[in-house]
Chains A and B, each alone.
Chain A
Amino acid sequence: MTASQVRRVVWVHGDSLSVTDPALSACPDAPALFVFDRPFLQAVPVAFPRLAFMYQGVRDLAAHRPGPTELRVGAVPDELAAFAAAHHAAELHVTRNFTPDFARIVDGLRAARPDLRIIVHEPERLTSFNGPLRRFFGFWKKVEREVLHGEPAPDFPQRGHR
């Protein structure tokens, strides 16, 4: 089966509320889902304006992409599994974020739907630095050129660090 024949859905989360999100860009026509995480919001106080701000983000991308965009309220892995099933999707695309919740949700989804291929796109980075970190000052010395001039220093190691 070619890529264009595979049915795909996209999971849009709170760190990727833009049409430029790598997962959304990879699948412009696929149905996309944003879930307000009920168990999380029940456990953690969040004031309403923040949730409205996120809603406005989903609304904006729904208005700017060719594929359909939906919103639900519920447990994220369950909602994603149901959404993928309703669209007969074989693949779910998402852009990684570094929160512990992300890993937990992807694991939950893998357990619920072992047949669903989960394609994780890498988020955009400001720098290409990949070494260990401790203090900002040391980090800044390594990435200063790249950030100020927009290009990695000619001798910048692409993998690892000095």
Chain B
Amino acid sequence: MTDALRLPPDLPPNLPDDQLPRVLGEALTGLYTGEPRLPARAGGRTAGLAALHAWTGEGYAGRNFLSGNVSRLSMYLRHGMLGLREVAAHARAVMRGRERDEFLRQLTWAEFYRLVLRQEGARVLGNLEDPKYPARWTDTLPDDVRGASTGLPCADAWVTHLIRDGWLHNHERLWFAAYLVHWRGVDWRAGYALFREHLLDGDIANNALSWQWVASTFSNKPYFMNQENIDRYSGGRWCRTCRAACPFRASYGELETQLFGTQP
């Protein structure tokens, strides 16, 4: 066997975490953005299994609240560190009733998007359908959005969380996507690229197709929210002390007319 092993490995497969940013950072020089630092959650099947077994799913009915008990397993599922089947089996074993059904339904979105990617291939990176409103989108991500300096405490927090944690709650993803595409008039692909850069769970299927769902190029209508919705599901986190001119403070009907030009 010894003669077969001619190529020395580029990187040892057993770097401890305290050496990882330095050694991996050097090996990958020029191949990443930002500072070399450890992810907010540790990677690997062992860590993924520990997270899965620690998760009881209690309170998942409140999943739409930022304070809701969601699993945060997406980064393990994305990299195959956990399988959809074992996560489903765990949910069937430890969860009950409507909460269990709701969790399994959410998990099925991940399977759905994977299968849409299998069906559509690289087409998922372009509009799968025409947008359902007269949209004129610009291609580039505005600097104030990337720099978390829009002056809107909520929107700036979404970007800050994304970059700091590599993970965002589903509702923050939805709000940010709607803000970028509908309020700022930016093509969803610029948001997709920002998410791909920073999300630990970022992938082609869930990421591109969720953006398209918000943009209405893979759904029957655009997704959008108003201030009341943000206030309620964030538990007043930003709105209570906010002094900004809020672009979201209106009824759904008014916003619909303003954003999409349609009568409520």
Contacts and interface: CB of A to CB of B under 8 A. Distances in A.
Interface of A: 14-21, 36, 38, 41-42, 44-64, 69-74, 82-83, 86-88, 95, 98-100, 123-127, 129, 132-133, 135-136, 139-140, 143-144, 147-150
A98 B111 contact: no
B264 interface: no
A49 B200 contact: yes
Contact of B11 (A53, A61, A72, A135): A72
A41 B32 contact: yes
B247 interface: no
Contact of A136 (B5, B21, B39, B109): B109
Contacts of B84: 124-126
A13 B30 CA distance: 21
Contacts of A133: 112, 115-116, 119
A63 B9 CA distance: 16
Interface residues of B, number: 80
B112 A136 contact: yes
A110 to B, nearest CB: 18
A99 B89 CA distance: 26
Nearest to B199: A50
Lowest 9 A-B CB distances belong to which pairs?
A60-B44, A56-B43, A53-B43, A62-B13, A49-B39, A41-B31, A126-B84, A98-B118, A126-B111
A106 to B, nearest CB: 14
A49 B27 CA distance: 14
Interface in B40-76: 40-48, 75
B25 A69 contact: no
Given A71-B9, A147-B104, A47 B33 contact: yes
A86 B6 CA distance: 6
A48 B85 contact: no
